[in-house]
Amino acid sequence: MAETIRIDPKSHAALADIARAKHIPLSEALARAVEAYRRELLIQAMDADYAALRADSKEWAQEQTERAAWETTNADGLQDE
């Protein structure tokens, strides 16, 4: 379902430039920009969560123990592909 939004002329011009450069419709350029921003926010949130985890020495030690357990799965006898 299509929706209409208002964007300022400077943003519209930048979006149009991107669309022309990539040879894609404005809507696809906007969708890609939104997805890139969504991913950026996700990474920032994950970074903040890991910072909070590292700040709690007990929780961080448990995380390291769990990681070490998963690392043993690399010793499966198979060569790196």
Per residue in 2-60, pLDDT (tens digit) is 788 899 999 999 999 999 999 999 999 999 999 999 999 999 999 999 999 999 999 99
3-class DSSP assignment, residue 77: coil
In a domain, 59, yes or no: yes
In a domain, 55, yes or no: yes
Q: What is the domain extent for residue 36?
A: 11-70
pLDDT at residue 60, rounded to an integer = 94
pLDDT at residue 71, rounded to an integer = 79
In a domain, 1, yes or no: no
Mean pLDDT for 56-77 is 85
- H or E, element range at 43: helix 26-55
In a domain, 79, yes or no: no
- H or E, element range at 76: none
In a domain, 6, yes or no: no
Residues with Cβ within 8 Å of 27's Cβ and at least 6 positions away in sequence, in order, are none
pLDDT at residue 32, rounded to an integer = 97
Q: How far apart are CA 32 and CA 19, in angstroms?
A: 10
First to last CA, the chain: 44
In a domain, 48, yes or no: yes
Residue 75 pLDDT > 90, yes or no? no
Domain count, the chain: 1
In a domain, 3, yes or no: no
In a domain, 34, yes or no: yes
